[in-house]
Amino acid sequence: MPTVNMIVLLGHLTRDPEVRYSPTGTPVATLGLAVNTRVKGQDGQWREDPCFVDVVVFGHQAEACGEYLEKGSPALVEGRLQYRTWEDAHGNRRSTHEVIAVRVQFLPRPDEGAAPEPDPVPITVPGTLPDASEDPQP
């Protein structure tokens, strides 16, 4: 059975990109991306539920991320999910999931004359049912 490992994320950087170079000279940038999902809690109130994702970018795109992106910048990331393990300085086994970016698209900030962000599509928290008569906006 074929499998698919593809992810698309639209969010804002949680910190400035960090650009390093591999032993072979390949630029590698690490980004922190916050992606918000609008959810309706069991109390009926809408709230933003953030998901924080580590992103790794390689090559010329990594250098461009370091030059043009900063904390708070909006970005669209396309890539694949990767699971990585390592041993820390104390001998403890550590692991993480991260997105290996295939493409990072820089987006204008709303204060730079861009159109306002569209309203997010609401998602209902498991265990609650959406009420079709309710307006999804608070």
Judge whether residue 27 has pLDDT over 90.
yes
Distances in whole angstroms, Cα of residue 129 to Cα of each of 37, 43, 113, 121, 138: 17, 12, 38, 15, 17
- What percentage of residues in the chain have a pLDDT greater than 90? 73
Q: Count CB neighbours of 12 within 10 A.
A: 17
What was the pLDDT predicted at 111?
A: 73
What was the pLDDT predicted at 117?
A: 56
- What percentage of residues in the chain have a pLDDT greater than 70? 80
| Comparison of pLDDT for 29 and 110, the residue scoring more | 29
Alpha helices in 57-102 (DSSP H): 60-68
- Superfamily the domain 7-124 falls into: Nucleic acid-binding proteins (2.40.50.140)
The answer to whether 88 and 133 are in contact (CB under 8 A) is no
What DSSP letter does each residue of 9-49 carry, written as one string?
EEEEESS--EEEE-TT--EEEEEEEEEEEEEE-TTS-EEEE
Sketch the domain layout of the chain as residue ranges. 7-124
